[in-house]
Chain A
Amino acid sequence: MILYVFYFLSFLAVLSALMVVFSRNPIYSVLYLVITFFCVGGHYLILSAEFLFAVHIIVYAGAIMVLFLYVIMLLNLNKDTEPQKNSIYKFAAILSGGLLMLVMVGALKGAESATIQLGSNSEVGLVKNLGRMLFNEFLLPFEIVSVLLLAAMVGAVMLGKTPLKATQQESKSGNGRSLMADSPKITHVKEFTNE
């Protein structure tokens, strides 16, 4: 019976993934991606990875996708402004995707045909066990990940600040502060070219 659950979740995941790729409106893509994430989270659940299911929903569907939504809304993207590639490139893309699928499946052909016991009371995915493993064997990576997140935070804030400061600068041009100190931060497209 659980096999049917598996089939249903897989079908839904693949379908919404395809819709992510092929839908015109970026907002629709985001929403389809959220559905995909839920399906994958469902897979985690039937694989008895409860802690991961929780973290997956919170982090991916709850934080990352919301961030994406914010950015899309900030940049005011909708169906009209969406650029499209040439047909030939689209065709080439589909072809290479299919080829990649073929090659990967062919590569994994000799893989073990074993069965996973779904729904069994596997102890591994429990929060307690996972936490114990996390804080005993994987303590160092855990700490380093915290440093990584700190670095990402700092980076994101630094990058995000720039346009705001420039707009402030433009409005206060004559107040005695030297412009030279801040102007290098404003990078215009023209400076990229070699003219």
Chain B
Amino acid sequence: MNRRELMSAVSALILTASMTSGVYAQEAKPVQGGSLNIGFISDVRTLDPIQSTQWTERQILFLIFDTLVEIEPDFSLKPSLAKSWEFSDDGKQMVLKLQEGVKFHDGTPFNAEAVKWNLDTRRDPDGKSSQKKQLEAIADVVATDEHTVTITMKEPYPPLLALLADRAGLMVSPTAGEKFGEDLGSNPVGTGPFTLGQWTRGSRIDLAKNPEFWQEGLPHLDAVTFNDIATNAVGIQRMSVGELDFISQLDPLDTRLAGASPDIEMVKSKSGLWYSLQWKWDAEPYNNPELRKAVAHGLNRERLNQIIWNSQGIVSNGFTPDGLWWTPTTLASYEYDLEKARQIVKDAGLEGTTLKLAAPSGDTLRRISELAKEDLDAIGLKVELAPVPQSEYYAKTVAGEIRFTPMRWTQRADPDGLVQFLFASAGGANSTGYKNEQVDTWIEEARVSTDQSARKALYDKIQLQISEDKPYMPIGFSAEFYAMRKVVGGFTPMPDEIPRFRYMWKSQN
């Protein structure tokens, strides 16, 4: 190998070494007290879980509120506010037994009535909750006694429990809900380990320890502050002078900046986000399977991984990372073959076809577009890049204005989450127009089945079919990093990319 390749190999080794030592540092013992300063690129609009839609809001919500159940690093579920659960034989009823003696920050007792209020408010057809559609499977919620909730579903719906580990399960104080109404977003009241201190919009959010948190020994920190940073680079610079302790969602290029400082360590996230190129599957020219095949063979995904993620991402032909129970066994695969792609384009008479590819303004998506253009131009297609603000690209794709764009998704705790959402013809986020009746049937079957192995068999079939139909051109999973100062401990990367700060500590200031 030449010198340059040697250097990058060596630097990759050094990076891995510093990361593994970071893992060992997490094994130290928790320290009480201290204040954690987090840097994040904020898109926070509201702290009302019922209305929350934005990515970064969850980081804060998971501190002020508790969910009914929690996920483990492998997406399995463990008790939280619900200490146990049981499904009826026909799978249509779920009984939750709640923790006792828990109070909301405003003194309201946490009980079955509170859970009912939370779920009903979200399900309210006149309301605007972002989780309204997710909870459609629920027919009725009854508080059978003080600490027992019985949820009845229209059809058996196993994914429901996993939804209660996320936004839908964040429990808000009903008293606060009635009292604050529209302003609940600025006055969050939950049962969580932290309370909202001050919120200086556009600048910082200060959270203070809840001394009456119901879980013994938690939280370790006295205060958590979320600081707005303009870019990760600014955040890393502030971290190198000790102003910030933790930043998430760094890409491998950002880590180069952090690597310069001895005080900072990097931890790689579990699986990153799933990146792909999305097209309007049922419209010209993307409805031509030859075109899709040509793109599949013409996109040099390994090189893309090299350039964008320093070879630390994982190229994949599907949307499920390794290690989950629904990871498929076989998928249609497309190796990069320039000549083959060129031939397909020629044979199908597609030479010179113009494709308008959106280039969202955010760094990663834009770079993907630029690299895709280069690759596809080389096989005889003509790609035009159409810049679009990052805040708009998704809405425009949904509206059909954008027909070809890079796209990214995070994993959900249950396969039905992404699969139904994206690939069912009636799916809530199916903006590709993908429609395959066989797949629809399989998805419905898998939704309502309570037998995990039966579900797995179905999801295998679904994912294989999707990889052949190609409503998306999958690229792979990103390499994301968390950067933190060495004094920070207790961090475990979670598959939903949300740091669980409540379990973390700081060994000194």
Is this pair of chains taken from one and the same complex?
A: no
**Residues of B that sit less than 8 Å from A by CB:** none
